[in-house]
Every structure is written in structure tokens, then in C-alpha cells.
Amino acid sequence: MNKYRKFVGIFLCIELILIVISNVLFFIMAHINEPEIRRTQETTGTIYKVIYTQTDHKTLILMNVGMGIMFLLSVFLVMYIGKKILKPFHRMMSLTEELAKGNLSVPIKAEKSKFFGRFLWGMDMLRDNLESSREKELELQKEKKTLILSLAHDLKTPLSAIRLYNKALSENLYDTPEKRAQVYAGIDKNVTEMEEYVTKIMAASREEFLNLTVEMGEVYLSSVMEYINAYYTDKLSNLHTAFEVESYLDCLLCGDSNRLIEVLQNIMENALKYGDGKYITISFSTEEDCCLITVKNSGCTLKEDELPHLFASFYRGSNVGNAKGSGLGLYICRQLMHMMDGEIFAEIKENEFFATVVIHKV
């Protein structure tokens, strides 16, 4: 902002200087001929009829009025730009710096600006989501530590018992077959307990850890597809990937608009990441009271026996290559579709991958 103020000050000073210079030049040009007439009269001695005319200042006045209006418009324009564009932009710069530092408690003042109002609203939503995600992550870490401490404490008991049994056997304290059988039974019992704890750990790791939520409502299929089409048309064009959204009959769907878009975006990103980039097609069909949205991409190298595992958490197929990922994308898609009382499934046909989303119509 300081640089902008300096620039504005220099600009207005230059404009004032130009106005002054133009007035001086006008006066010089208006009176330059009068001294020449008098000089000629004095040197030659010839009598001339000299007519003196008064200089017309109307042109000068009009010129100054025009320049004044231009100056005032310039002042208004720079003030408007500073207040409506640069000042909110300066606040956004400081906001992004604070968010980058991890300071998510910075309040964002709402702006009724047609330039940045909606953007600031979106930034505030992003800040809230980041803050909520961080709180959930901290809570999850706390629960994880509590679980680990609890299981570590529970595992100590059977481990200690097995260690004691092992020591007794190594020192031949049980000299009869009956006593040794009791020891073996005790070891087996403690091993069974440990297996149960391990099973609990595995079950806990597979439980819903993302805390996904949906807001059920009604959404038109056209509004979802218009967003997807607008988002991917230019993107795929730049990648030289043919993209087609087939015709469909608009209908009212039952679900969360944002979550449905998230599911379709996830499928589209997978199609881009793991396909050969030749083409992606979105088609539609209807079965009973459900709408089926199918995303098809070319160049599928996934094996059919991997299909049942695609929607498991942290699973990555054999076709991932060097592509980065967590193995959670399709898992999240299935969880979201189940929460919307829908479904998602995948098929492979002739080196083409089909991912179909099933969602109920209203």
C-alpha cells in the first residue's frame, strides 16, 4: 500500500504540472504576435492601421475545466482502486501469510465487494474447514495415543505370563507331563488373548477415521454436471484428452451436492492419473428410482481380480506405477455414497475402466 500511495502521489503531481505547463504555453501562444506588430511599426516609420483585439479566454477556460474534470476523475479513480481493490487485496495477502504460518484463528472480515466478497467468504470457509480438520486431527491423535497406551498395558499381562512360563520350562520346574500340559495350556490361553488384542488394533485401524459428514438435500443433476463439465473441459483440453459428457435427462437427486461433486471429481482424477489419457466419457442411465452416472476412461491396466479390493482403505492397485497417492480416494467415495444411501462400483471391459455412481432420485 505504501508503494501505491507513492505512485498515486507522483501521478497526481505530474498531472498538475502538465496542467500548469499547458496554461503557460497557451498564454505564450496567445500574445506572441502583438509585440511583432509594434516592432514593425517602429523600425520602418510607415504608418499602419493597427487593430487591437482582446484575447479570447473562453478556450483557456474550457481547457482548464476539462483538465480539472480529468484531474478529479483521476483522483476518484485512484481512490476507488485503492479502497475497493488494493485494500482488500492487501488484507488477503496478510491472511494467506497467517494461514501459511498455521494461524487459523485469524478472523476474516466480510466484504460487500463485487470483486472479492465471494472470494473472502470462500477463504473464511476454508479457514473454518482447516481449523475443524486440525481439531479433529488432534483429537484423533489423542485417541490414538490413548488406544496405544491402553493396548500396551493390556498386552503386558499375557506377555509377562508367557515369560514366566518360558522361564519355568527352561529351568525344568515342571517335572511331570500333567504340569507341563497345564503350562502349555496357559501359554496358549495368553497367546489367544494377544491375538484378540491384535485383532482389536486391526479393527480400530479400519474404522471410520476420516469423520466424514454429509448434508442431505435435493440437487439437480444438471447443476452437478455443469460444474464437472466446466471444471474439466479446459483442463483435459490442455492435456489433449478427449472429454465427452453424453446427453442426459435432468432430474432431482437426493444427496449432498458438494459431496456428490467430490465423488465425481475423485473418479475423474483417478481416470486421469491411471488411464492412458486418450479419452474420458461420462454417460448416464436410469434403473428403477436411481440415476447411474458412469465415468469411462481408456487405457486400463488393472487386473480384474483386484476390483473387489479397490474400495478398501489404503489399497493401491498394481497399475499405480510411480503415481503418488494414499489409497483412500475410492474408499472415501464409497463411504460418502453409502452415507447418501447410494453406491459405487467398478468394472473393466476391453482395457476400459468404468466407475459407476448410483444415487437415488427424489
Q: Distances in Å between the alpha carbon of 164 and those of 167, 174, 184, 187?
A: 5, 12, 12, 10
Identity of the amino acid at 359: I
Within this chain, do residues 284 and 189 fall inside the same structural domain, yes or no? no
Q: Residue 114: inside a domain, yes or no?
A: no
Q: Which of 206, 237, 259 is the last residue of a domain?
A: 206
DSSP assignments along 128-152, one per residue: HHHHHHHHHHHHHHHHHHHHHHHHH
Q: Residue 216's pLDDT band (boundaries 50, 70, 90)?
A: very high
Report the CATH number at residue 197. 1.10.287.130
Same structural domain, 317 and 252: yes
Residue 47 lies in a domain: yes
Tell me if 113 is assigned to some domain.
no
Torsion angle, alpha carbons of 229, 231, 233, 239, to 10: -140
Q: What is the spatial distance between Cα 248 and Cα 262, in angstroms, rounded to a whole number?
A: 20
User: Looking at the predicted structure, is the pLDDT value of residue 299 above 50?
Assistant: yes
pTM value > 0.75: no
Residue 280 confidence class, pLDDT cut points 50, 70, 90: very high
Residue 250's domain comprises 217-360
pLDDT for 189: 84
Tell me, yes or no, whether 234 and 315 share the same domain: yes
Cβ-in-10-Å burial (0-12, 13-18, 19+) of 333 comes to: buried
223: Cα separation from own chain's centroid: 19
The percentage of the chain sitting over the pLDDT mark of 70, rounded to a whole number, equals: 70
The rounded mean pLDDT for the chain is: 78
Domain-located, residue 211 = no
What pLDDT does 248 receive?
95
My answer on whether 141 and 244 are in the same domain is: no
Whichever domain contains 294, its CATH number is 3.30.565.10
Higher pLDDT, 176 or 296: 296
In the chain, the amino acid numbered 327 is: G
Q: Note the helical H segments in 171-285.
A: 177-206, 221-238, 257-274
Q: Where are the alpha helices (DSSP H) in the chain?
A: 2-31, 34-44, 58-81, 87-100, 117-170, 177-206, 221-238, 257-274, 329-339
pLDDT score for 36: 46
188 in any annotated domain: yes
Is residue 118 assigned to a domain?
no
300/86 Cα distance (integer angstroms): 49
Band of pLDDT at residue 224, cut at 50, 70 and 90 = very high
> Which of 151, 179, 206 marks a domain boundary?
206
- The reply to whether 86 and 143 lie within a common domain is no
Say whether both 194 and 257 belong to one domain: no
Cα–Cα distance measured from residue 100 to residue 215, given in angstroms and rounded to the nearest whole number: 29
Among residues 206, 231, 252, which one ends one of the domains? Answer: 206
Based on the fold, state whether residues 96 and 151 are members of the same structural domain: no
Residue 321 — pLDDT band, cuts 50, 70, 90? Answer: low
Residues 224 and 355 in one domain: yes
In a domain, 155, yes or no: yes
Same domain flag for 192 and 290:
no
In this predicted structure, the answer to whether residue 60 has a pLDDT above a threshold of 70 is no
Number of other residues whose CB lies within 10 A of the CB of residue 280: 23
Please indicate, yes or no, whether residues 159 and 187 belong to a single structural domain of this protein.
yes
Checking if the pLDDT of 226 tops 70, the result is yes
Residues 224 and 351 placed together within one structural domain of the fold? yes
Q: Residues 23-58: pLDDT tens digits?
A: 666 666 655 544 444 444 444 555 555 555 555 566
Most confident of 86-100, 253-267, 322-336: 253-267
161 and 46 in a single domain? The answer is no
Q: Give 82 or 346, the one with higher predicted confidence.
A: 346
Measured in whole angstroms, the distance separating CA 2 from the mean position of its chain's CA atoms is 31
| Residue 105 lies inside a defined structural domain of this protein | no
143/192: higher pLDDT:
192
Split into its structural domains, the chain has a count of 3
The span from the CA of 339 to the CA of 109, in Å, is 34
Question: DSSP string spanning 56-68?
Answer: P-HHHHHHHHHHH
Check pLDDT > 70 for residue 198: yes
